[in-house]
């Protein structure tokens, strides 16, 4: 687009504002979102619990013993233990949990795990689909949209398909048998767009 | 065009016109309804060039005799990966082409000089199942693009500046858009994708000047509306029936024709009934959006057979009677001939163009098929069916030449699917297909998958077939010079065929596989062929599965490039 720098910066500012408003609207939030609503948009915070994202147990904390080793990943959101609010205001906050044999984890992955449970962003780094499928033969995540595969034993590195980079990892710890957040996301969330460097911001 | 052919010696590639400067953009004519209804031979002003959907250019410099000398004139890297499916659309020497993730380039069509670009910043939390775009619409002094976050954007055709942008639906609930809009009568019409995500499909028209909504017609009736009895309970709210390929338009009737996609979830047991107007053609009044007629190709879809390709508007002769027809090569593997009338659409006939094991009969009056229940997946009941869920022909447009009177269909034969339905919980914006992972198989004894077929629409007979070992995902261009152009295979070839015989005349390997829509245009007396390469989305997925089954690996690097060809002087 051929516009002057002044016009360009003004336009971009305006559009960012528009997009932000659309997000709020489409998430069902009022334009003047409350502090509680804002908290639901926050990414997982240290000491948050992990709670089931969907289904009959949505909102309940995930206990480590709920998860059987080498079975399909579970979708979760962080839960603020102080308020009981789920941080589910954006799908970018959703994580996938899977329990693996601790002996099969690489050292970096083991350091982020809790009793063999590991957590990663549930949003594919290719084009942003939910990473819902489980390849039981190879014990990998698989994206249903374009069949990117990620190895949860090793930092969710890409082991198949078009995804450009690994899923962001969320460090975990155990609190009273439940899963809790031990650190912020490590790695990039979301997918690259034209003009963005795949090697950094 | 014959006079141009005789007058103009084919120009040497070195004798290209001078660079187009800004004044050439200023000199470019606005696009009026009159021009869209009767486009000049040198221009390609809309998705399929003509409202009829023909994909035919009358330009005739490039012939079976000289096409072997076709050479690249210029190329342009788009800077984007994934499935490039956009036709290079040309108005008076200015080309407009889109990419996945919604870039638009305006380019000097003769030299390749980039005149402006538009880049859309898509929302961070977008989930893109089909990262592609199928081109712009031109109308007045504007360029229109439908985006992956379900926004219709109007750009100044000369500067690329945003004139207005209007959300058409909420992308967070699974809606997205990939089609080139359809422009007519002061309106810009678009349909929505999302049939795998529990949307309720619709077509909407926006005022070309302001973006104000003129009308919106859902493809699934609400309770109490005619056809609502074909949906149980609340299933109409999430029943799919998306519209993701540009419609065709009959100006005389003022009716636009749109193909609708699969119902959701994928297996019909999840929503017993015919499920109108999924898997249908619908005729909508361009001024009001009123439903003027429909024909459902198959009821209670259980095969993910989106019938989104709109029917072509052709005059067809049957038993000595010539009538205004709608001709559609279906994803369900049948070639449908219908009659279009002011007050409706009536069935004429249908016959398979690839092996199909689902239909056991078709009612000769209504066109309603009966089914082989063994080949119909149900809840907890696997069904194996041919053609596969990708269909006998997917979205890839067929072409028709009024000179050969042949319809050219890019097809896939012998490739089949198996899946069963599973319970699925609706979550806004998320997968709502409700099946086991689909498995693919090749029909026993098959020796090829891809085909380019030519059919005589009057006799209803196939005239020739060119077979490909690989799957074929190539949109087709027909030209007045008697040459057909298409890519579509994982070997990255762009090919030219003799329109009458199907003989392969020329092929050129490009940077990536081709699922783009080829076009043809003329600048300063030179005929060009344009195509966008860039492998991705469903073509990539299907070929990967074929490779796994056949124990081989076709490595097809991604990356979009616009290629423009002309005949080199002898």
Which DSSP string do the residues of B165-212 spell out, in sequence order?
Answer: EEE-S-GGGT-B--SPPEEETTEEEEE-B-TTTT-B-EEEEEETTT--
The string of pLDDT tens digits covering residues B355-403 is 999 999 999 999 999 999 999 999 999 999 999 999 999 999 999 999 9
CA B96 to CA B86: how far, in whole Å?
9
Question: Tokens 């000595």 identify what position?
Answer: B320
The mean pLDDT of B498-518, rounded to a whole number, is 98
In the predicted structure, residue A173 carries a pLDDT above the cut 90:
yes
Of B82, B117, B126, the CB nearest to A128: B126
Chain A partners within 8 Å of B121 (Cβ): 15, 19, 193
- Considering chain B, what is the average pLDDT of its residues? 95
The string of pLDDT tens digits covering residues B90-126 is 999 999 999 999 999 999 999 999 999 999 999 989 9
Q: What is the pLDDT of residue A17?
A: 35
Q: What is the pLDDT of residue B334?
A: 98
Chain B partners within 8 Å of A22 (Cβ): 123, 167
A-B Cβ pairs (cutoff 8 Å, strict): 84
* β-strand partners of B349: B337
Contact assignment for B127 to A130 by CB distance below 8 Å: yes
Looking at residue B386, the DSSP 8-state letter turns out to be: S
Q: Tell me how close the Cα of B511 comes to any Cα of chain A, in angstroms.
A: 18
Please tell me which residue of chain B has the smallest CA distance to A195: B79
Contact assignment for A147 to B537 by CB distance below 8 Å: no
Of B122, B125, B540, the CB nearest to A92: B125
Between B416 and A26, the more confident residue is B416
**Residue B345 φ/ψ, nearest 5 degrees:** -130, 130
Contact assignment for A130 to B431 by CB distance below 8 Å: yes
In the predicted structure, residue B21 carries a pLDDT above the cut 70:
no
Q: Tell me how close the Cα of A127 comes to any Cα of chain B, in angstroms.
A: 5
Q: What is the pLDDT of residue A195?
A: 63
Chain A partners within 8 Å of B558 (Cβ): 162
Catalytic (active site) residue B250: no
CA A143 to CA B567: how far, in whole Å?
44
Strands across the sheet with B213-218, in order? B182-184, B187-191, B202-207, B213-218
Strands across the sheet with B142-146, in order? B137-139, B142-146, B151-156, B162-167
Q: Answer for the pair B222, B216: CB distance below 8 angstroms, yes or no.
A: no
DSSP string computed for A156-179? TEEEESS--SPPPEE-EEEETTEE
The string of pLDDT tens digits covering residues B216-253 is 999 999 999 999 999 999 999 999 999 999 999 999 99
The string of pLDDT tens digits covering residues B514-541 is 999 999 999 999 999 999 999 999 999 8
Q: What is the pLDDT of residue A147?
A: 86
- Considering chain A, what is the average pLDDT of its residues? 83
Q: What is the pLDDT of residue B95?
A: 98
CA B36 to CA B30: how far, in whole Å?
11
Q: What is the pLDDT of residue A14?
A: 35
Contact assignment for B127 to A123 by CB distance below 8 Å: yes
In the predicted structure, residue B426 carries a pLDDT above the cut 80:
yes
Strands across the sheet with B70-77, in order? B70-77, B561-567, B526-533, B519-523
Please tell me which residue of chain A has the smallest CA distance to B437: A144
Q: Where are the alpha helices (DSSP H) in B275-419?
A: none
CA B326 to CA B336: how far, in whole Å?
8
In the predicted structure, residue A45 carries a pLDDT above the cut 50:
yes
Of A3, A90, A193, the CB nearest to B101: A193
The string of pLDDT tens digits covering residues A149-164 is 999 999 999 998 889 8
Q: What is the pLDDT of residue A27?
A: 39
In the predicted structure, residue B479 carries a pLDDT above the cut 80:
yes
Q: What is the pLDDT of residue A197?
A: 54
The residue annotated as part of the active site, out of B60, B149, B304, B538, is B304
CA B414 to CA B432: how far, in whole Å?
28
* β-strand partners of B385: B417
Q: Tell me how close the Cα of A115 comes to any Cα of chain B, in angstroms.
A: 30
* β-strand partners of B76: B562
CA A138 to CA A160: how far, in whole Å?
12
CA A117 to CA A67: how far, in whole Å?
8
pTM for the model: 0.90
Q: Which of B23-27, B337-341, B378-382 is least confident?
A: B23-27
Q: What element of type H or E holds B289?
A: none
Chain B partners within 8 Å of A11 (Cβ): 162
In the predicted structure, residue A143 carries a pLDDT above the cut 80:
yes
pLDDT above 90 as % of chain B: 92
The mean pLDDT of B173-190, rounded to a whole number, is 98
The mean pLDDT of B41-70, rounded to a whole number, is 98
Q: Tell me how close the Cα of B79 comes to any Cα of chain A, in angstroms.
A: 7
The chain B residues in contact with chain A (CB within 8 A) are 79-82, 99, 101, 103, 116-119, 121-129, 131, 159-162, 167, 170-173, 425, 427, 429-431, 437, 536-537, 540-541, 544, 558
The pLDDT-based confidence of A196 (bands split at 50, 70, 90) is low
Q: Answer for the pair B409, B373: CB distance below 8 angstroms, yes or no.
A: no
The string of pLDDT tens digits covering residues A65-117 is 999 999 999 999 999 999 999 999 999 999 999 999 999 999 999 999 999 99
Of A26, A146, A194, the CB nearest to B172: A26
Contact assignment for A26 to B173 by CB distance below 8 Å: yes
Task: Report strand pairing: B383-385 vs B504-509.
Answer: unpaired
Please tell me which residue of chain A has the smallest CA distance to B104: A1
Contact assignment for B103 to A194 by CB distance below 8 Å: yes
- The token pair that represents B442 in the structure block: 């090749």
Q: Which of A25-29, B111-115, B404-408 is least confident?
A: A25-29
């Amino acid at each position: 687009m051929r516009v002057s720098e002044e016009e360009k910066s003004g336009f971009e500012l305006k559009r960012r504002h528009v997009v932000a408003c659309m997000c709020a609207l489409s998430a069902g939030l009022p334009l003047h979102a409350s502090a509680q609503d804002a908290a639901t948009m926050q990414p997982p915070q240290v000491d948050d619990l992990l709670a089931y994202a969907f289904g009959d147990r949505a909102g309940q904390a995930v206990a480590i013993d709920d998860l059987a080793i080498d079975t399909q990943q579970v979708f979760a959101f962080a839960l603020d233990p102080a308020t009981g609010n789920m941080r589910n205001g954006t799908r970018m906050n959703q994580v996938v949990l899977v329990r693996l044999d601790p002996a099969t984890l690489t050292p970096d992955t083991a350091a982020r795990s809790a009793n063999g449970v590991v957590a990663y962003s549930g949003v594919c780094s290719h084009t942003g689909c939910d990473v819902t499928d489980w390849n039981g033969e190879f014990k990998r995540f698989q994206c249903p949209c374009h069949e990117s595969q990620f190895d949860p034993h090793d930092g969710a590195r890409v082991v198949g398909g078009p995804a450009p980079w690994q899923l962001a990892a969320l460090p975990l710890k155990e609190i009273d048998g439940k899963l809790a957040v031990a650190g912020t996301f490590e790695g990039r969330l979301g997918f690259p767009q034209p003009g963005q460097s795949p090697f950094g911001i | 065009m014959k006079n141009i052919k005789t007058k103009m010696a084919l120009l040497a590639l070195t004798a290209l016109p001078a660079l187009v400067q800004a004044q050439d953009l200023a000199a470019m004519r606005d696009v009026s309804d009159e021009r869209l209804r009767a486009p000049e031979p040198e221009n390609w002003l809309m998705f399929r060039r003509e409202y009829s959907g023909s994909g035919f250019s009358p330009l005739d410099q490039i012939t079976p005799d000289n096409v072997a000398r076709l050479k690249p004139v210029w190329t342009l890297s788009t800077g984007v990966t994934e499935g490039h499916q956009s036709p290079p659309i040309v108005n008076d020497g200015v080309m407009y082409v889109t990419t996945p993730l919604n870039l638009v380039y305006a380019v000097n069509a003769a030299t390749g000089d980039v005149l402006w670009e538009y880049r859309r910043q898509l929302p961070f939390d977008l989930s893109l199942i089909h990262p592609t775009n199928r081109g712009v619409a031109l109308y007045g002094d504007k360029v229109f693009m439908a985006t992956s976050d379900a926004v219709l954007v109007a750009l100044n055709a000369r500067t690329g500046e945003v004139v207005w942008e209007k959300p058409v639906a909420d992308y967070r609930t699974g809606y997205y858009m990939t089609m080139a809009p359809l422009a007519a009568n002061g309106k810009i019409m678009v349909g929505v994708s999302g049939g795998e995500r529990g949307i309720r499909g619709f077509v909407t028209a926006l005022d070309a000047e302001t973006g104000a909504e003129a009308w919106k017609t859902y493809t699934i009736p609400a309770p109490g509306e005619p056809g609502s009895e074909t949906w149980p309970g609340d299933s109409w709210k999430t029943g799919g029936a998306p519209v993701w390929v540009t419609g065709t338009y009959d100006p005389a009737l003022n009716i636009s024709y749109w193909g609708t996609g699969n119902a959701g979830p994928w297996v019909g047991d999840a929503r017993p009934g015919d499920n109108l107007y999924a898997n249908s053609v619908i005729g909508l009044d361009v001024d009001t959006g009123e439903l003027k007629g429909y024909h459902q190709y198959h009821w209670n879809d259980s095969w993910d057979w989106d019938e989104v390709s709109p029917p072509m508007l052709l005059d067809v002769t049957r038993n000595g009677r010539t009538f205004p027809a709608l001709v559609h090569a279906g994803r369900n593997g049948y070639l449908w001939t219908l009659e279009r009338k002011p007050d409706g659409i009536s069935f004429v006939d249908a016959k398979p163009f690839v092996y199909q094991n689902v239909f056991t009969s078709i009612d000769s009056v209504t066109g309603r098929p009966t089914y082989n229940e063994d080949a119909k997946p149900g809840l907890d009941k696997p069904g194996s069916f041919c053609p596969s869920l990708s269909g006998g022909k997917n979205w890839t447009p067929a072409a028709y030449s009024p000179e050969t009177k042949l319809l050219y269909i890019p097809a896939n034969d012998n490739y089949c699917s198996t899946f069963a339905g599973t319970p699925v919980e609706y979550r806004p914006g998320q997968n709502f297909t409700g099946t086991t992972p689909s498995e693919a198989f090749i029909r026993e004894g098959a020796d090829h998958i891809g085909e380019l077929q030519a059919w005589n629409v009057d006799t209803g007979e196939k005239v020739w077939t060119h077979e490909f070992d690989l799957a074929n995902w190539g949109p087709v261009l027909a030209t007045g010079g008697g040459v057909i152009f298409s890519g579509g295979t994982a070997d990255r070839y762009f090919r030219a065929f003799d329109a009458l015989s199907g003989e392969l005349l020329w092929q050129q390997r490009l940077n990536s596989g081709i699922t783009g829509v080829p076009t043809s245009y003329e600048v300063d007396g030179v005929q060009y062929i344009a195509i966008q390469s860039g492998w991705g989305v469903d073509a990539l997925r299907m070929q990967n599965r074929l490779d796994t089954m056949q124990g081989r690996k076709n490595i097809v690097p991604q990356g979009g490039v616009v290629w423009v060809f002309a005949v080199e002087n002898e």
